[in-house]
Structure 1
Amino acid sequence: MMEKRWIFKPLPPKEIIEQLSKSIHVPESLAILLTQRGVHSFEEARNFFRPTLDQLHDPFLMKDMDKAVERLVQAIYTHEKIVVYGDYDVDGTTSVALFYGFLRTFYNNLLFYIPDRYKEGYGVSQTGIDWAYEQGASLMITLDCGIKSAQLVEYATEKGIDFIICDHHRPDLHLPQAYAVLDPKRSDCQYPYKELSGCGVGFKLLQGFCMQNSIPLDKLYPFMDLLAVSIASDIVPITGENRVMAYYGLQLLNSNPRPGLQALIQIAGFEKKLTISNVVFGLGPRINAAGRIAHAHAAVHLLLSHSKIEAEEYAREINLNNRDRQGFDTHITKEALSMIEADGLSKENKTTVLFKNDWHKGVIGIVASRCIEKYHRPTIILTESHSKASGSARSVPGFDVYNAIEECSELLEQFGGHMYAAGLTLKIENVAAFRQKFEQVVASKITEDQLIPPVEIDLALNLNQINYKFYNVIKQMEPFGPENMQPVFVSEKVYARDNARVLKDMHLKISVYQEDSPVFEAIGFGMAAFYEKVSIGKPFRLCYQVVENNFRDNKSLQLLIKDIKFYEVE
C-alpha cells in the first residue's frame, strides 16, 4: 500500500479549549474539534450546530448584483425572451434547473440551453448564442460559466443580446463586458463569502430579485435541494454560507425532494438519510453521466420533472448513461495505468500527462482522479476532439494545478478551472512539448510532501473516550465535506484480537483495544495488506473515524480505518 503522510491539525490554546468546553458542556476533546472549525464561543457554537437561513449574506453585497437584478426585472416587466444558459456538469445543470424552474413559476417567456460537451465544449459557445438569437432572446443569464467568455459576450452584444454572468471560477485580468458580472472571486468584489458554487451564485441573484420585488423567500427555498446537490458535487468548502445552504438543502432532500431527485435517490438504492457523501458518490455521477455519454439537457428535464412517471423515465435513461460511463471509466483507467507502467521514466516524474486519440472525452476527468489514487501527483488526461487534444487536469492536496497550466499557456489554445481541477485544449503536435514543460513547471514548485497522500488528523484519542454521547455530538457537526470533514482520530498502542480476517480478498476486519479500553470492531476497506502485521500481537498506531454500524437493526459504534502505522522495532 502507498505510504500516507499523517498531518496533525494544530491544537488551539488550552484556555480557549477549557472556556468553550465549560460554556457548551462538552468534553475538551470535542471542544478541540469545534475550535479547529472556527467555533470559539457559545454564540458561534449555536450558529454552527443550529444553522438558520438568516445567516445568509445580503446578496446586494456582491458586486454588480444591483445591476443584474435591475436587468432581470426589466426583462420580465417588458416580457423579453430570456435564455438561461448553464454548463453540462452537475453544478451547471442544477443551476439551470433552479434558476429556470423558479422563474417559470411566474414567467413563461423563458428558455434554457445546455451546450453539447462534444460539439461545443465547455462554457459559452457561439452555437448557443446563435440559437438564442434565432429564438429572439435579448437576455442570456449564464450559470457556472461565462467568466472567461469576453469575445463571445462581445459577439452576443453585437447581436443585441445582453449577458448576466453568474460564475464562481477564477476570472482573467479583464472581465467580459457583460451587462452584469456576478462572481465572488472578482478582485473588486467585497462579498464576504468567496466559495459559492455556480448554482450558489445563481441562487443569490434570485434571492436579490425576490428581496427587490417583495416576493417571499419561502417561494425560493423549496429549490434548495438542487443547491445542496450542486454544493456537494462541485466539491466546494462546506463552510459559512455553503454549510447553511447545504444543511437546509439536505433536509429537503431527506424530507420532500422534487420528483427528479426522488427518482434518482430510489434508482441509486439509498434507503437511509442522505449525506453530502451520498450525493457526491450516488447522485452526482448519475447527473453528470447525462452530459458525459449523451446530452445534459436530459439531466435538466429530470430535475424539472413534475410527475413521478416522467421523473422515473428520465432517471432510468440517466442510470443507463451512468452504467456506460462506468464501463468507459474502467477500460480507460486500465489503459492509462498500463501506459504509466510501460514507461519506466514516468515513474520518477512529478506529473502524469497521457494522450490517446480514442479515449472517451466524457470520462477523462474521472480517469485523471483514478490515476492520482495510484500515482499521487498532478495528472492530465488528453484525448482527441475536433482535431485538437482536449483534456482534464486533476491535482493533489496543496498544489495549484491551474497556476501550473497557466505557465504553459503559450502551448495552449484555451484553459480554465480551479486550483484542483482544470480543462485545457491544445494542438496535438504540441502535446509532447506541453508534457515536458508541465513536468518542468510542476517539478520546480511541488514539494516532496505534496507527492505523498496526506491524512489530516484532528486529534489523538484514547479508545475509552469513545461512546454514544461523544458520537452524537460529532454527528451534529454534519454536513461534512471539504474544510468541515468528518473528524479523524489517532490512537496509540492499539492491539488487535486474534480474530482478524480479510473480507473478499480486499478488506480488513479486526477487533481492536487498548489496555484500559473496551473492544471496538474496526474495518479498513482495501486494507488487506495490513492483515499479517496486525495479526502478530504487537501494538500499532490506528488512524480512524468513528461511525455507526447498523446490522439488522442492531446499532453499534465501529471504527472506520483510514491508515495504520507500525512502531519501529528497536
Structure 2
Amino acid sequence: MKKLETIQNEIILEVLKKRGINENYLEFMLNAKIEDIEDPFNLENIELAVDLIIKNMKEGKPILIHGDYDADGITSLALLYRALEKIYDKNKIIPYIPNRFKEGYGFSENSIKIAKELNSKLIITVDCGITGISEVKKAIDENINVIITDHHEPLDILPNASAIIHPKISPRYNFKQLTGVGVTFKLIMALFKKLNINTRKLLWDLDLVSLGTIADMGELTYENRILVKYGLIVLEKSKKAGIKAIKYISGIKEKISPWHISFIIAPRINAAGRMSDPIYSFKLLTLKNGKEVLEISKILNELNKKRQYEERKIIESVSIQIRDKLDNYVLVLSDWGWHEGVIGIVASKICEKFNKPTIIISKLGEFSKGSCRSIEGFHIQKALKELSYLLEEFGGHSMAAGFTIKTENIELFEREIERIARRELKDYQLKKIFNYEVEIKPADINKQFIIDYAKLSPFGIGNEHFTFLHRNLKIISIEKYKRSLEIVFSNGKIKFKTKVFQPEKEWLELKVGDIVDLIFKFTDNFISKEGFNIKALKFIK
C-alpha cells in the first residue's frame, strides 16, 4: 500500500492552520485519487439526460451539441464531442458555437433552426443554457428535446428543459463549484457507466477538464482539485495533436502549471472567440491531423497578438477615464469603438489593479455590451439581477458576468450599481492590503520546506500561493524592458527573481544595492537553477 503523503515543515503547517485547513482536508489535498470524485448520478436529472441520449442514439438521430465561445465552453464542447464520437457516428454529432458578435452569449436560437433543418430531436448545451428560458420554449415548440448542462448562476425561474444538470440545483451533490467542463465530464461519466463502458477511457481527456477549469477561474478545492491535479499530469503527456501544437507554437518547454494555462494556453484558445471564429479552437482540440492543427495554432497565435493590441488601446483610454472615478466603489467605464471581444480581459486587469468591481462597456449603437469582474464580498451577478429592469439580458456568476444594455441606460445603470455597491461593501474591502501570512528567514528555506510546499500544488483560486515576508533582501540586478522590470533579490544565500509588469513609479525608482523588506508569493514553477521565481507584491525600504 502506498504511503500517505504528509507535511512536516512547521512553517507550512502554521500557514495551513491559519487558513483553517484541518487534518482531514489536508490529507485529502495530499492524497485524493481520481476515484474519489463524486458519483455523477448524484447530480439531479442526470439519469434522465443519459436515457435521452441513449434513446436518441438508438434511433440514429443527429445530436446538436451547443457550446460557448470561451475556453470553458470550448473545452466542454470538445470533451463532449470526443466522448460521443467514441460511441456514436461522428457524422451525426453536430457541434455548434454561437458567434460572440452576431449572437452573443448563451443558448442561441440559430442552433434550434439548424437542429430542425437536420431533423435533430436533441440539443445538449454545455457551459450555457441555464438562463435560456425562451430558447428552450422555442425548441420544445419544434419538438426538440433540450438537455442543459451549466454552472452559471440560475435565475429564479428555470427553463422547461427535458433535463437540467447543474450542481447548484442538485441537493445531493456535495461540490457546487464545478465549472462547465466539469459538469460536462460528469455527464459523460454517467453516460459511459450506463452503457457499461469503462470510464477510465475518459481519463486521457482530463487535460481538457483541467484546461477549462483553470481558464474559467474555477475554485481549486475538493473535486476541482482532483480533476485539475490529474488533468495537469495528462496535459504534460497529452497525445492530442492540438495540445502538442499549441505548446510548440507558444514556446512551452517546461512542466505545465496552472500559470501556463491562465497566461499562455487559455488566452490563445479564447482569442478565436474574442477576435474571430471560436470554431478554430474547437478544431484545435478535436482534429487529429498534426499539420492541420499546427496551422490552426499559428492562426490562434496571430489572433492573440491582435487581442493584445486591442487590449492595450482600451487600457490607455480607460486609464484616462479612471482619474475622475477613483472615489467610486464600482468602476464603470464605457466608450465607442472598444472591441467587445476584449473588454472582459480589460475588466479583469483594472479590477485586479484597483481592487474594485469593474465594468467595461463597449458602445455599439442603440445597444451596448458590458463585461464585469468583481472582488470578494460583491456578487456581481446578483447586482445585475437587481438591475435587470435596465438590462436586455445578463448572465454570469459571483465574480464575473456580462450583459447587454440600451446605450441610453448606461448613465442610470452606473448610478444604480454604485448605490448597490455602497450598500453591500465596506471601505476596507476596497483597500488593496498586502498582508503576509508568515515571515521567513534564509535558514527556513531548506529542502523539506521546498518538498512540502510543492506537495500543495496545484495552486489557484481557493488554494492560493502563500504570502511571505522576507526582510533585508538586497537588489543585485535590475533589467528594464518596455512594459516591465526584472529584479533579482538576494538574502546572501538564495536569489529571488521577479517580473513587475506595468511598474508603478516606486518600483522604477529602485536601484541595485537597495535593501528592502519584501512581501511576495512563489510562482507555480518556483524552483529555478538560480534560486526561486516569485511574484513581488510590495516592498518596504
Task: Tell me whether the two structures share a fold, i.e. TM-score over 0.5.
Answer: yes
SS at match of 2:461: coil
Q: CA deviation at 1:195?
A: 0.6
Q: What is the aligned partner in structure 2 of residue 3 from structure 1?
A: none
1:142·1:165 contact (CA, 8 Å) conserved in 2? yes
Selected match of 1:302 from 284, 291, 294: 284
The answer for the alignment partner of 1:556 in structure 2 is 531
Other-structure match for 1:468: 447
Is the Cα–Cα contact under 8 Å of residues 211 and 261 in structure 2 kept in the other structure?
yes
Instruction: Map 1:120-519 to 2 at 5 A.
Output: 120-186=103-169, 188-341=170-323, 344=324, 346-385=325-364, 387-455=366-434, 457-491=436-470, 494-497=471-474, 499=476, 501=478, 503-504=480-481, 506-507=484-485, 509-513=487-491, 518-519=493-494
Find the residue that maps to 2:459 and give its secondary structure. coil
Q: Shift in Å at residue 102 of structure 1? A: 1.0
Q: Which moved more, 1:383-392 or 1:250-259?
A: 383-392
CA contact (8 A) 2:381 2:396 kept: yes
CA distance in 1, matches of 2:330, 2:25: 42
Distance 1:67-1:543 versus aligned 2 partners, 3 A rule? same
Identical-residue share of aligned pairs (%): 30
SS for the counterpart of 1:93 is helix
Contact 1:464 1:518 in 2 (8 A): no
Larger deviation, residues 524-533 vs 74-83: 524-533
Q: Please give the TM-score of this superposition, normalised by the length of structure 2.
A: 0.92
Does structure 2 conserve the Cα–Cα contact (< 8 Å) formed by 1:524 and 1:562? no
Which range moved further: 518-527 or 316-325?
518-527
- CA distance 1:37–1:373, change in 2 (3 Å): closer
CA contact (8 A) 2:72 2:179 kept: yes
The CA distance in 1 between the partners of 2:403 and 2:103, in whole Å, is: 14
Partner-residue secondary structure (3-state), 1:414: strand
Residues 208 and 458 of structure 1, relative CA distance in 2, 3 Å threshold: farther
Deviation at 1:530, TM superposition (A): 4.4
Decide whether aligned partners of structure 1 residues 383 and 499 sit closer, same or farther in structure 2, where only a CA change above 3 A counts: closer
| Unpaired stretches in structure 2, ≥5 consecutive residues | none
Q: Which amino acid aligns with 2:73?
A: G
Distance change (3 Å), C-alpha of 1:150 and 1:556: same
Mapped contact 1:502–1:531 kept (Cα < 8 A): no
Secondary structure at the aligned position of 1:356 is classed as strand
Provide the rounded CA distance (Å) in 2 between the counterparts of 1:151 and 1:30.
Answer: 52
2:522 to 530, 545, 553: 545
Assess, with a 3 A threshold, how the Cα gap between structure 1 residues 473 and 117 changes in structure 2: closer, same or farther. same
SS of the residue aligned with 1:423?
Answer: strand
3-state DSSP of counterpart to 1:306: coil
What's the counterpart of residue 92 of structure 1? 73
Q: Equivalent residue of 1:487, what SS?
A: coil
Q: Which runs of 5+ in 1 are unaligned?
A: 1-21
Distance 1:354 1:45, change over 3 A: closer
| TM-aligned CA deviation for residue 525 of structure 1 | 2.0
Counterpart Cα distance in 1 of 2:392 and 2:352: 29
Size of the alignment, in residue pairs?
533
Displacement after TM superposition at 1:496 (Å): 3.5
Give the RMSD, CA atoms, in angstroms.
2.5
CA contact (8 A) 1:415 1:422 kept: yes
Structure 2 counterpart of 1:477, one-letter code: L
Give the superposition deviation at 1:107: 0.5
Q: Distance in 1 between matches of 2:526 and 2:402?
A: 40
Letter in 1 for 2:381: Y
Query: Which of 62, 65, 76 does residue 46 from structure 2 map onto?
Result: 65
Q: In 2, Cα distance between the equivalents of 1:557 and 1:155? A: 57
- 1:207 aligns to what SS in structure 2? helix
Q: From the superposition, tell whether residues 214 and 391 of structure 1 become closer, same or farther in structure 2 (CA, over 3 Å).
A: same
**Partners in 2 of 1:292 and 1:541 — Cα distance?**
37
Residue type of the partner of 2:156?
L
Shift of 1:77: 1.7
Distance 2:83 2:43 in 1: 21
Contact 2:472 2:517 (8 Å CA) reproduced: yes
Distance 2:159 2:516 in 1: 61
- Counterpart in 2 of 1:29? 11
Change (3 A) 1:534 1:219: same
Counterpart-to-counterpart distance in 2, 1:332 and 1:300 = 28
CA 1:46/1:386 → structure 2, altered by over 3 Å: closer, same or farther?
A: same
Which residue identity is paired with 1:87?
A: D
Alignment correspondent of 1:10: none
* One-letter amino acid of the counterpart of residue 82, structure 1: I
Moved more, 523-532 or 355-364: 523-532
CA distance in 2, matches of 1:287, 1:387: 30
Residues 78-110 of structure 1, C-alpha deviations (whole Å, 9 max, x = no match):
212111101111011111100011101221121
- Alignment equivalent of 2:506, drawn from 518, 529, 543: 529
How far apart are 1:334 and its partner, in Å?
Answer: 1.0
The Cα offsets for residues 317-375 of structure 1, whole Å up to 9 and x where unpaired, read as 1111111111111111111212333xx3x232222222223221111111212322443
Distance 2:115 2:364 in 1: 25
The structure 2 residue matched to 1:56, chosen from 34, 37, 44, is: 37
CA 1:379/1:153 → structure 2, altered by over 3 Å: closer, same or farther? same
CA distance in 2, matches of 1:352, 1:332: 14
Report the equivalent of 1:7: none
Quick check: 2:66–2:96 contact (8 Å CA) kept in 1? yes
Distance 1:215 1:35, change over 3 A: farther
Tell me if the contact between 1:542 and 1:563 (Cα under 8 Å) persists in the aligned partners: yes
**Most deviating of 92-101 and 362-371:** 362-371
TM-score, with normalisation over the residues of structure 1? 0.87
Deviation at 1:70, TM superposition (A): 1.2
Q: Is the 1:126–1:152 Cα contact (8 Å) retained in structure 2?
A: yes
1:27 positional shift: 2.4
CA contact (8 A) 1:357 1:383 kept: yes
